């Protein structure tokens, strides 16, 4: 089967969507399918990529680590003609998601959409945010989903939310599977030495983009409270992003900078080794749709302490593979970390085994089977045009554009009024 994947984020970007696309692509190719990935350009991207088309993009859009694609050139048409796709799979409802919709519509191909993201939780990346803009973003994703032949929800929580929001297209729960073999092995002791962490330390770990939507300020305060109470504890932070400075400041104010270890972005065996250097994985995000880093940690036998949220509650089972906290509170989170740290050796071993068993249930071969079964079923269906739904989606797009123009105008007036005669609002750069 020839599958086209269109995504607004891809390697070397660090994030769940990029890693999901990469994981499914690798598994499909391993099984003999051809996959063409269409993605934006990113700084420091690989030089030699097979079946990857990079689209010109604005790097570091509005101070983030995202790339915003520029209008797609006609070269994509020629590439698709040569590739002869059987299936179009989009991972966003906007930017390259719009391209995916048009490709599927004009070539009369099945369109699959994975609703990876709660988009309303990311509107702080636009220059001016508002409740109306967030409502439009939700409506856009819902209308877009109803233009697709199949929607993949990464978790049961998200599937229920999409139905509640009015998605009528078929929804299948297809999480991103974990490569159990990749994360089952890793030299945690060597990694600790590299990071200057004592062999006998109790290590709290976290991996991900260091960004506001990940609730990192809360997490840093909760972990620092635990470190104050537990002298042998250290915090290993893997990733990069705009909140790294804030996290460092929290630990510096607490006098704990020497026990904070920031590893930056890791790949391949280093990533597995980092998980194996951890005794517990701490997670506080409420913006997830699935728990990819949670299942990776569990594949390494690391239990998880996390806040109850969509995509998390499906993975973390309280006192079976970690702790799932119903309320967001620093003391409760600190106490949960302390609970893990004080477990007797046999109980800790059982918790580690529970983590590994949970990862096995969401292995990459299993979830790829789910996705490919859906693809095959779609190929047997006749193409269905949806002109009315398409018009509704375009109306929402126009409303978003109008709201954007209004907000830019208000912001420009405010800057001119309070920023002096030379000030001028220019919007995103």
Task: Name the residue with higher pLDDT: 231 or 209.
Answer: 231
Over the Cα atoms of the chain, what is R_g? 22
Which range (82-96, 111-125, 247-261, 346-360) has the least confidence?
A: 111-125
For the record, the structure tokens of 187 come out as 């030299």
Q: Is the pLDDT of residue 319 over 70?
A: yes
pLDDT, one tens digit per residue, over 9-38 is 888 766 778 889 999 999 999 999 999 999
d(CA 338, CA 122): 32
Q: Is the pLDDT of residue 59 over 70?
A: no
d(CA 182, CA 236): 20
CA distances from 26 to 23, 45, 110, 311 (A): 5, 17, 21, 23
Of the candidates 33, 14, 15, the residue with the CA atom closest to the CA atom of residue 368: 33
Which range (72-81, 371-380, 403-412) has the least confidence?
A: 403-412
pLDDT, one tens digit per residue, over 145-177 is 999 999 999 999 899 999 999 999 999 999 999
d(CA 148, CA 145): 5
- Phi then psi for residue 77, to 5 deg, are -60, -45
Q: What is the mean pLDDT of residues 34-44?
A: 87
Q: Is the dihedral of CA 26, 45, 3, 78 positive or negative?
A: negative
CA distances from 394 to 143, 203, 400 (A): 9, 50, 10
pTM of this structure: 0.77
Q: What is the mean pLDDT of residues 129-143?
A: 76
Task: Name the residue with higher pLDDT: 217 or 105.
Answer: 217
Q: Is the pLDDT of residue 403 over 80?
A: no
Of the candidates 256, 240, 158, 255, the residue with the CA atom closest to the CA atom of residue 206: 240
Q: Strand pairing of 202-207 and 322-325?
A: unpaired
Which residues are paired to 371 by β-bridges?
none
Q: Is the pLDDT of residue 298 over 70?
A: yes
| 364 band by pLDDT with thresholds 50, 70 and 90 | very high
Task: Name the residue with higher pLDDT: 62 or 158.
Answer: 158
Q: Is the pLDDT of residue 122 over 70?
A: no
Instruction: Give me the pLDDT at residue 413, please.
Output: 45
* Residue-range domains of the chain with CATH: 2-177+367-418 (3.40.50.2000), 180-362 (3.40.50.2000)
Q: Is the pLDDT of residue 402 over 70?
A: no
Q: What is the mean pLDDT of residues 277-288?
A: 93
CA angle, 282 as apex, 280 and 284 as ends, to 5°? 165
Of the candidates 216, 235, 346, 219, the residue with the CA atom closest to the CA atom of residue 280: 235
Q: What is the mean pLDDT of residues 36-64?
A: 74
Of the candidates 283, 118, 315, the residue with the CA atom closest to the CA atom of residue 216: 283
Place of tokens 């063409």: 36
């Amino acid at each position: 089967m020839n599958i086209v994947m269109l995504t607004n984020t891809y390697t070397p970007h660090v994030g769940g969507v990029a890693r999901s696309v990469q994981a499914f692509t690798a598994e499909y190719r391993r099984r003999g399918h051809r996959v063409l990935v269409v993605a934006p350009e990113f700084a420091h991207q690989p030089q030699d990529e097979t079946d990857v088309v990079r689209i010109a993009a604005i790097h570091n859009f509005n101070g983030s680590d995202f790339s915003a694609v520029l209008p797609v050139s006609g070269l994509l048409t020629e590439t698709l003609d040569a590739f002869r796709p059987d299936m179009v799979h989009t991972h966003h409802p906007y930017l390259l998601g719009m391209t995916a919709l048009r490709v599927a519509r004009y070539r009369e191909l099945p369109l699959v959409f994975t609703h990876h993201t709660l988009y309303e939780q990311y509107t702080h990346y636009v220059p001016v945010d508002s409740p109306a803009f967030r409502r439009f973003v939700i409506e856009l994703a819902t209308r877009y989903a109803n233009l697709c032949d199949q929607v993949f929800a990464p978790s049961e929580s998200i599937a229920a939310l999409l139905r509640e929001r009015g998605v009528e297209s078929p929804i299948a729960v297809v999480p991103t599977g974990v490569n159990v073999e990749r994360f089952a092995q890793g030299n945690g002791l060597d990694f600790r030495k590299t990071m200057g962490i004592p062999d006998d330390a109790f290590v709290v770990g976290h991996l991900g983009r260091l960004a506001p939507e990940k609730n990192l300020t809360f997490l840093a305060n909760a972990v620092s409270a635990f470190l104050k109470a537990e002298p042998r504890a250290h915090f290993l932070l893997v990733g990069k992003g705009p909140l790294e400075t804030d996290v460092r400041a929290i630990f510096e104010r607490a006098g704990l900078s020497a026990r904070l270890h920031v590893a930056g972005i890791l790949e391949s065996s280093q990533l597995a080794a980092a998980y194996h250097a951890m005794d517990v994985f701490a997670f506080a995000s409420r913006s997830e749709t699935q728990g990819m880093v949670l299942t990776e940690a569990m594949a390494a036998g690391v239990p998880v302490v996390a806040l109850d949220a969509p995509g998390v509650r499906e993975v973390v089972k309280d006192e079976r593979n970690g702790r799932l906290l119903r309320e967001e509170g620093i003391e409760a989170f600190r106490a949960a970390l302390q609970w893990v740290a004080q477990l007797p050796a046999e109980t800790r071993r059982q918790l580690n085994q529970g983590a590994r068993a949970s990862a096995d249930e969401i292995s990459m071969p299993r979830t790829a089977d789910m996705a490919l079964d859906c693809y095959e079923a779609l190929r047997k269906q006749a193409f269905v045009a949806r002109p009315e739904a398409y018009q509704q989606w375009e109306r929402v797009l126009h409303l978003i554009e109008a709201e954007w123009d209004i907000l830019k105008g208000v912001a420009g007036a405010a800057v001119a009024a309070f920023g002096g005669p030379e000030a001028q609002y220019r919007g995103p750069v």
